[in-house]
Structure 1
Amino acid sequence: MFEAENESETDAKCSFVPIKDSGGVVIQSPDKKVRGYQSDNMANETDYPPTLKISLSQKDRFDKICEVFHERFGSDPEFYCRAPGRVNIIGEHIDYCGYSVLPMAIEQDIVIAASTNNTGEIVLLNTDPDYREFSTKVQNVDIDRSTLRWYNYFLCGFRGIVESRKLDNAVGMNLVLDGTVPKSAGLSSSSAFVCCAGLATMRANGLQISKVELAEICTRCERYIGTQGGGMDQSIAFLAERKTAKHIEFNPLRANDVQLPDGVVFVITNSCVEMQKAATSHYNIRVVECRLAAQIIAKSKNKEWKEIRKLGDLQKNLGVSLEEMLDIVDKELKTQPYLKSEVCEILGVTEDELKDTSLSDNTLHITSFKLHARAKHVFSEANRVLQFAEICGDNPDGAVKLLGSLMNESHASCRDLYECSCTELDELTQLCVQSGALGSRLTGAGWGGCAVSMVRGHRVADFLSKVYEGYYANDPQRKVRVQESLFTTQPGSGAALYIP
């Protein structure tokens, strides 16, 4: 469910509890079905997270969470928060470069039961016993990047709200967390936790913050644990709506509905290889490589390169198309890796100055960078996102085949140019295509985690059977996890508050 603690928790498992639907009866701040959301200062009441009544389909699960809460704290929760996991259909590793993405929320989620307390403490339990209880004073919140703990994600969300609203007297909270998003699987369990924490902190302190601003706050505050993400996970967590994917753009943040084709189903397949994004430097190395590629091209074009942080900013500055950017990459960047000393020479800085202008704390040890391949992936993937959204909107003949081809191209680019796949994911996506998927690609950061496949509805049963036999059945470790590793999904709803 989350990147595990040190000590014996490194093999902690997520308790997978299938749930049918996240919907409920709206009783306050209804989530209006609109075409899109935009970041501005004129938020309407309907732009805020809805408050829902617990539905019958959720009752058993919420009752179990309530039992844990009552046993520990001697009272029932005052409210619950929910934030969904997500699957990114297409647009990998480009949100932090400033480019749009196309995710949808899934039904698996993080739920937090909460009440305020008079002790001035945050007391946090997990229904999974592999995660130990945690407590701290609200005035003494410390997020230690050097030691990754599961509760750090809550502290990120808490601190983000407190700092954004300059709360000097934040209230204490009693909390119980329950999650159904498989951990370290590329389905955004950690970001869902951060978003849920931000929502709980907002409600406990009597605040009202729009969905867009919550997404922006939670994007920034997740960086407290060192992840240089771009905002996709947090944006879909708050802006998601049932039955539609979202085309999410940034700067300013805005999200528009994407109607996925009729007659297809999206299937999640977990490689069962876990990559702890916040505990490794793989992810941030790619962020830095993209930044350096943008800066070196900017320097070659006589631009103020120190002001360029993203490849998307570079494109805007140059005023050219994505196709033209691909040509520029070929002309301005060599295909061989760049040594750090070479980057410093090109930019005219010392290694200490490069640290300030371009690197992150956990990439200081990197001595060479693959700039050409990383930039090629970003610009081509950004173009695929636009094509995917356009095809969904126009629905031409053969649309599903075109979309499947884009997904396959995306995986090949992630594998070959961005090098964020792994042997198991490559094997799994190939098996999915051979088993009848129109398209299959890794989803999430990569280096493990899940693939998403688009399958014709009438072929789903056969597809699931073939993938199970080909990837899970003969491996005891995979087989025991198949319930949480092989499942269909549909676009789910976004984060919400619930009252008992």
Structure 2
Amino acid sequence: MADGDALPQHPLQVSESERFMKLKDAFISKYSMPPAFYVRAPGRVNLIDFFPADLCVVSDEHGERFHQDTATMEKQYQDNWPTILFFKIYLSNGLYFCRDYNVPINEIQIDTTKPLWQYYFLCGFKGIQEHFNLPTSCGINCMIDGTIPASSGLSSSSALVCCAGLITMRANGKVLSKMELAEICARCERYIGTEGGGMDQSISFLAEKGMAKLIEFNPLRATNVKVPSGAVFVIANSCKEMNKAATTHFNIRVMECRIAAKVLAKTKGLEWQKVLKLGDLQQELGVDLETMLSTVEQVLHPEPYSREEVCQCLAISQKELSNILSQNTQDVTSFKLYQRAQHVYSEAGRVLEFKRICDETPANALQLLGDLMNQSYTSCRDMYECSCPELDQLVDICMQSGAVGSRLTGAGWGGCTVSMVPTNKLESFLATVQDVYYEANADRAAKQTQSLFATHPGGGAAVYHEV
């Protein structure tokens, strides 16, 4: 295990934390015994696509936000039980006021057509179970709570998967590094049908207080990036919910990028069948982003590709195309390959430029970073087409209220914006956005205190032991 890569484990004085005390009391009320340990995993906010920062509130009357908090204990080791097949996972969720859930460990099934909250927990459990090839596992009791708004684009689902992975590892006496946990949780969330890339889980484990992170893959690595002083990031929830596992929007974009990568790879004489991502294609070709953007212009056309044209480009049958597509994108009839590839490669360039500006900190660094965030939003809206009217309105309001840059964050089609706001304009910014976006709508006004606040980067997932 590399230096600094060990999972943090902290002593916890529960009586000093109102939230942990409530969680402990609820656990004892439900299971008639105290929890053995606690686990926390944060959500995340993207400052720019593929450039995420794990953010938590620094000055807020409700305390720290954007964590899933889970209390658990290893209850079900009993020598007089004839078989471990009776061991169960018991889940109680105080966050969404849901019914309790339990399932025998040997009967776990994850229904990809119904992305219920408990399935995200089961993803994390199953990922650890399969990684260690555990034919059996101890039963566990869990009480789940959290402060990440659901379906807000802040990765509440991935945080729950990460919590479940941590719990399962700890309850079974196993040890993994943060890197290993991030990779396992990224893979296992796909059990629920989301074709994610692993960024959410990576930042949830690898985040460090005060630092943004440049997350890169193959192999997974995270580089600290210090954002220049003089501005804060403000999260504003559009209050338009979008569950990426319950819709096809997210997976369609992933499939369009996959097909674009394969078509481009075929024109370059590569083994296109093995190419899954546009980033992998660039790495295989060994060229820079400008060359990739030029290649997209030369090879792909802006008009949507039909299924028949995709098959013709790749010289495959409709059945073979179905094997490339994910389960919930089988009925898609057209694909915007040019637009998706243009977005991905141009956004990758903005990511590198963002890091360069942060490293060099020129006098106008904040304005330059804000410009990149604005360009990112425009590309998300026009080329990747993952915005929505509520997000468009909110970004416009944020820019008119004093932000130097603003963009959607998360999967899109709803959820939150993140804005870079000069510190000396923060109070007026918050007041204006509150009045114009939230107070003008009764439903939004009721959620305003949980929807609009300033943040700074916080730390990653950890295990807590009561002292």
- Scaled by the length of structure 1, the TM-score of the pair is 0.88
Residue 30 of structure 2 is aligned with which of 63, 72, 95? 72
2:408 counterpart (442, 465, 472): 442
Please point out which of 125, 146, 162 is paired with 1:179: 146
CA distance in structure 2 between the partners assigned to 1:84 and 1:353 by the alignment = 39
Cα deviations by residue, 1:208-255 (Å, 9 ceiling, x for unpaired): 000000000000000000000001100000001111111111111111
C-alpha contact 2:45 2:52 (8 A) present in aligned 1: no
**Amino acid of the residue matched to residue 331 of structure 2?**
H
Contact 1:90 1:103 in 2 (8 A): no
How far does residue 67 in structure 1 lie from its aligned partner after superposition?
0.7
Tell me, yes or no, if the aligned pair for 2:52 and 2:203 is still in contact at 8 Å.
no
Match of 2:293 among 313, 323, 326: 326
Tell me, yes or no, if structure 1 residue 43 matches structure 2 residue 9: no
Q: For residues 376 and 478 of structure 1, what CA distance do their matches in structure 2 show?
A: 35
Residues 1:205 and 1:336: Cα distance change in structure 2 (over 3 Å): same
Instruction: Give the aligned partner of residue 28 of structure 1.
Output: none
Aligned length, in residue pairs: 449
Q: Which residue of 1 aligns with 2:82?
A: none
Partner residue of 2:193? 226
2:428 corresponds to 1:462 = yes
1:238–1:495 contact (8 Å) kept in structure 2? yes
Aligned twin of 1:34: none
Q: 1:395 is matched by which residue type in structure 2?
A: T
Instruction: Give how far 1:101 is off.
Output: 2.6
Q: What's the CA shift string for 1:19-70, capped at 9, x where partnerless?
A: xxxxxxxxxxxxxxxxxxxxxxx434x4221111125796111010011100
Partner of 1:250: 217
Describe the superposition over 1:342-397 as per-residue Cα deviations: whole angstroms up to 9, x where unpaired: 100111111111122x2111110000000000000000000000000110011012
Residue number in structure 2 paired with 1:116: 74
SS at the partner of 2:359?
helix
Quote the residue 1:102 is aligned against: 52
Q: Which amino acid aligns with 2:265?
A: A
Gaps of 5+ in 1: 1-41, 92-99
Q: Which amino acid aligns with 1:478?
A: R
Q: Which amino acid aligns with 1:43?
A: A
- Structure 1 residue 164 corresponds to structure 2 residue 138: no
Name the residue aligned to 1:138: 105
Give secondary structure in 1 for the equivalent of 2:457. Answer: coil
- Does residue 388 in structure 1 map to residue 347 in structure 2? no
One-letter identity of the residue aligned with 2:235? I
Task: Provide structure 2 residue ranges, at least 5 long, that are not aligned to the other structure.
Answer: 57-64, 77-85
Matches within 5 A, 1:204-215: 204-215=171-182
8 Å CA contact 1:143–1:224 kept in 2: the answer is yes
- Name the structure 1 match of 2:155: 188
Q: Work out the percentage of aligned pairs sharing the same amino acid.
A: 53
Secondary structure of 1:269's counterpart equals strand
Q: How far is the alpha carbon of 1:198 from its aligned partner? A: 0.2
Q: Secondary structure in 2 aligned to 1:278?
A: coil
Check conservation: 2:14, 2:21, Cα contact below 8 A: no
In 2: Cα distance, 1:128 partner to 1:449 partner? 18
Letter in 2 for 1:75: M
Pairwise CA distance, 1:121: 0.9
Contact map agreement 1:336 1:370 (CA 8 A) in 2: yes
Aligned to 1:238: 205
SS in 2 for 1:488: strand
Question: Per the alignment, do residues 489 and 231 of structure 1 end up closer, same or farther by CA in structure 2, a change over 3 Å counting?
Answer: same
Q: Deviations over 1:174-213 (max 9, x none)?
A: 1000010011000000000000000000000000000000
**By how many angstroms is 1:302 displaced?**
1.8
Q: Is the 8 A contact 1:89 1:104 kept in 2?
A: no
Does 2:48 align with 1:90? yes
Distance (Å, rounded) in 2 between the aligned partners of 1:58 and 1:294: 52
Q: State whether residues 48 and 208 of structure 1, in contact with CA within 8 Å, keep that contact through their aligned partners in structure 2.
A: no
CA–CA separation in structure 2 for the residues paired with 1:415 and 1:409: 10
Is the partner of 1:487 in helix, strand or coil?
A: strand
**Partners of 1:88 and 1:57 in 2: how far apart?**
34
Q: 1:439 to 1:56 in 2, by over 3 A?
A: farther
Aligned to 1:433: 399
Distance 2:48 2:370 in 1: 10
Specify the code of the residue in structure 1 equivalent to 2:47.
Answer: I
Tell me the distance in 1 between the aligned counterparts of 2:54 and 2:355: 13
3-state SS in 1 of match to 2:39: strand
Structure 1's consecutive aligned runs of 4 or more residues displaced over 4 angstroms after TM superposition are 55-58
Tell me by how many angstroms 1:298 deviates: 1.2
Q: Which residue of 337, 343, 352 maps to 2:304?
A: 337
